[in-house]
C-alpha cells in the first residue's frame, strides 16, 4: 500500500460515498477494511466506496462497495459522485460526455453544470430497465412479476414489481409511505430467500402527475436518504404499471428529488445534483490498519 492514500468524499441527496483510486492500493481492499473506512465513528464514514480502476472498454472503470463489505453492480448516486471526483482531478470537464464501466454495465455520463457554490448537476445513462424475474435472480420460471405477491414472515404478503437496472430492485407500491413499515418489511424482502443475490427495495406511491415518492432500503447498506438506481427502478416500474402516465418522472426521496426519463425502449436517463464534502488523506495509522485487514 502506498504511504499516502488520498480520497474524496461527496454526496448525492445525503447518500454519501468515498472515492479513491484502487490502483494506488498495494493490497486487496477486503470486506473488513471496507467496513472500517465506511464506519462513521472509527473510519471516514460513508454509505459506500467508489474504487477507480482501469477499463478496456470505457474511459474509466469503477467498482462499488457497500458499507457491509459486499460489492454492488451499479449505483446512480455513486456514479454521479464519481463524476464529481473525476472533475476535481481535472480528468473530465463540464459538458463533455465520458463513459464508465461498472460490473452492472457501461454508463455514459456528462457533468452538465457547476454552480457558484460547487453543486454539480450530473446525468447518467443508466442502461435499459429489465422486468424479467431472472434479471434480478428471483426464484422460479422467467416471468414479469407485475404485482405478484411475495410472502413474508407471519404470512404477510406484498405485491412486488421487480426491475433490473444492472442491479436488482424490488418496488412495492403502497397507498401511504411509512418509515416504520419500511424498516419492518424491507429487510425481509431484501434478504428474502427467493432472491438469489438479495435485492434493493423501494416502497413508493404516486402523489401527482409525473411525481412519485419513495423510501429506499439498499442491499448492503439499509435505509438511505436517496438512491439513484432505486429512483430509476421506481420510475420505470411506475410507468410500466400505469401509475404515472408521463415518461419524465420526478422521484422524491427523503434526501431530495431526482429526475428520471424512461424512454420508449425502456432505457433510462438519470439526472440529479452532487455536492463535494471534502478531500482528505488517511493517516499512517489508518493506512496500517487497512493493510493489516487486507
**99 and 161 share a domain?**
no
Rounded to a whole number of angstroms, the CA Rg of the chain reads 19
Beta bridge partners of 171: 161, 202
pLDDT tens string 67-86? 999 999 999 999 999 999 99
Structural domain includes residue 128: no
Q: The C-alpha cell of 111 is what?
A: 457533468
**195 and 238 share a domain?**
yes
Q: What Å distances lie between residue 110 and 74, 169, 293, CA to CA?
A: 17, 25, 36
Burial annotation 216-233 (CB, 10 A radius, 16+ → b, else e): bbbbbbbebbbbbbbbbb
Q: What Å distances lie between residue 168 and 24, 104, 194, 276, CA to CA?
A: 30, 10, 13, 28
Q: What residue numbers bound the domain in which 140 lies?
A: 133-265
Structural domain includes residue 95: yes
pLDDT at position 154 is 82
**155 and 184 share a domain?**
yes
Structural domain includes residue 270: no
Give Cα 205 to chain centroid, integer Å: 20
Q: The C-alpha cell of 163 is what?
A: 426491475
pLDDT tens string 96-143? 999 999 999 999 999 999 999 999 999 999 999 999 999 999 999 999
pTM for the predicted model, two decimal places: 0.96
For residues 264 and 201, is the Cβ–Cβ distance under 8 A?
no
> Residue range 206-216: average pLDDT?
97
> Residue range 259-284: average pLDDT?
97
Structural domain includes residue 152: yes
Round to whole Å and give the CA distance between 146 and 119: 38
For residues 120 and 83, is the Cβ–Cβ distance under 8 A?
yes
The CB density around residue 42, as the number of other CB atoms within 10 Å, is 11
For residue 2, pLDDT over 60 is answered with no
Give Cα 98 to chain centroid, integer Å: 19
Burial (Cβ within 10 Å: 0-12, 13-18, ≥19) of residue 258: buried
**175 and 287 share a domain?**
no
Round to whole Å and give the CA distance between 16 and 30: 20
> Residue range 170-190: average pLDDT?
97
For residue 4, pLDDT over 90 is answered with no
> Residue range 139-167: average pLDDT?
95
**259 and 137 share a domain?**
yes
% residues pLDDT > 70 (the chain): 98
**80 and 108 share a domain?**
yes
The CATH number covering residue 192 comes to 3.10.310.10
Dmax (CA) of the chain: 55
pLDDT at position 28 is 77
**22 and 66 share a domain?**
yes
**194 and 279 share a domain?**
no
Indicate the number of domains in the chain. Answer: 2
**27 and 70 share a domain?**
yes
> Residue range 265-288: average pLDDT?
95
Round to whole Å and give the CA distance between 235 and 251: 7
**43 and 94 share a domain?**
yes
**212 and 280 share a domain?**
no
**76 and 138 share a domain?**
no
pLDDT band at 1 (very low <50, low <70, confident <90, very high): very low
For residue 164, pLDDT over 60 is answered with yes
Structural domain includes residue 1: no
Amino acid at each position: 500500500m502506498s504511504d499516502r492514500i488520498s480520497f474524496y468524499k461527496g454526496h448525492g441527496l445525503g447518500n454519501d460515498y468515498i472515492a479513491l483510486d484502487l490502483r494506488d492500493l498495494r493490497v486487496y481492499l477486503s470486506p473488513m477494511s471496507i467496513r472500517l473506512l465506511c464506519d462513521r465513528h472509527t473510519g471516514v464514514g460513508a454509505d459506500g466506496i467508489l474504487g477507480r480502476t482501469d477499463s478496456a472498454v470505457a474511459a474509466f472503470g469503477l467498482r462499488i462497495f457497500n458499507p457491509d463489505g459486499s460489492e454492488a453492480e451499479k449505483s446512480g448516486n455513486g456514479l454521479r459522485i464519481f463524476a464529481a471526483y473525476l472533475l476535481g482531478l481535472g480528468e473530465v470537464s463540464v459538458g463533455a460526455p465520458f463513459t464508465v464501466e461498472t460490473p452492472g454495465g457501461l454508463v455514459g455520463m456528462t457533468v452538465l453544470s457547476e454552480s457558484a457554490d460547487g453543486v454539480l448537476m450530473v446525468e447518467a445513462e443508466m442502461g435499459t430497465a429489465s422486468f424479467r424475474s431472472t434479471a434480478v435472480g428471483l426464484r422460479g420460471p422467467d416471468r414479469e412479476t407485475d404485482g405478484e405477491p411475495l410472502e413474508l414472515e407471519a404470512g404477510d404478503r406484498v405485491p412486488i414489481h421487480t426491475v433490473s437496472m444492472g442491479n436488482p430492485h424490488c418496488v412495492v407500491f403502497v397507498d401511504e409511505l411509512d418509515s416504520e413499515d419500511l424498516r419492518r418489511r424491507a429487510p425481509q424482502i431484501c434478504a428474502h430467500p427467493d432472491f438469489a443475490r438479495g435485492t434493493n427495495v423501494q416502497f413508493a406511491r404516486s402523489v401527482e402527475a409525473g411525481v412519485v415518492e419513495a423510501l429506499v432500503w439498499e442491499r448492503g447498506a439499509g435505509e438511505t436518504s436517496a438512491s439513484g438506481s432505486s429512483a430509476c427502478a421506481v420510475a420505470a416500474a411506475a410507468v410500466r404499471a400505469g401509475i404515472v402516465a408521463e415518461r419524465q418522472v420526478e422521484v422524491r426521496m427523503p434526501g431530495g428529488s431526482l429526475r428520471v426519463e424512461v424512454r420508449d425502449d425502456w432505457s433510462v436517463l438519470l439526472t440529479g445534483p452532487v455536492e463535494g464534502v471534502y478531500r482528505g488523506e488517511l493517516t499512517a495509522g489508518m493506512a496500517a490498519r487497512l493493510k493489516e485487514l487486507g
